Homo-oligomer: A and B are copies of this chain.
Amino acid sequence: MAKGIIHYEVGEQVDVYLLIKSVTKGIASNGKPFLTLILQDKTGEIEAKLWDASPEDESVYVPESIVKVFGDISNYRGRTQLKIRNIRPVHQNDPVRVTDFLEVAPLKRDEMMEKITQYIFKMKNPNIQRITRHLLKKYEQRFFDYPAATKNHHEFISGLAYHVVSMLDLAKAIANLYPSLDKDLLYAGVILHDLGKVIELSGPVSTSYTLEGNLLGHISIMVSEISKAAEHLGITGEEVVVLQHMVLSHHGKAEWGSPKPPMIKEAEILHYIDNLDAKMNMMDRALEKVKPGEFTERIFALDNRSFYKPTFSQS
CA distance A217 to B244 in the complex (A): 11
Residues of A in contact, count (CB < 8 Å) = 90
Q: Is A231's CB within 8 Å of the partner chain B?
A: yes
**Structural contact, B242 and A310, CB atoms closer than 8 A:** yes
Smallest CB gap from A315: residue in B: B180
**CB neighbours of A173 from chain B (8 A):** 173-174, 176-177
Cβ contact of A227, chosen from B28, B169, B227, B262, cutoff 8 A: B227
The 8 Å CB contact of A248, one of B166, B177, B216, is B216
Q: Is the CB of A170 within 8 A of B180?
A: no
Complex Cα distance A125/B241, Å?
Answer: 33
How many chain copies?
Answer: 6
Give the distance in Å from the alpha carbon of A245 to the alpha carbon of B25 in the complex.
Answer: 36
Docked complex Cα distance between A215 and B74 (Å): 32
Question: Cβ of B83 and Cβ of A27 under 8 Å apart?
Answer: yes
Q: Is A120 an interface residue (CB 8 A)?
A: no
Given A27-B81, A257-B259, A263-B295, 11 more pairs with CB closer than 8 A = A26-B74, A27-B74, A166-B177, A173-B174, A214-B263, A220-B260, A224-B228, A239-B310, A242-B312, A264-B308, A268-B283
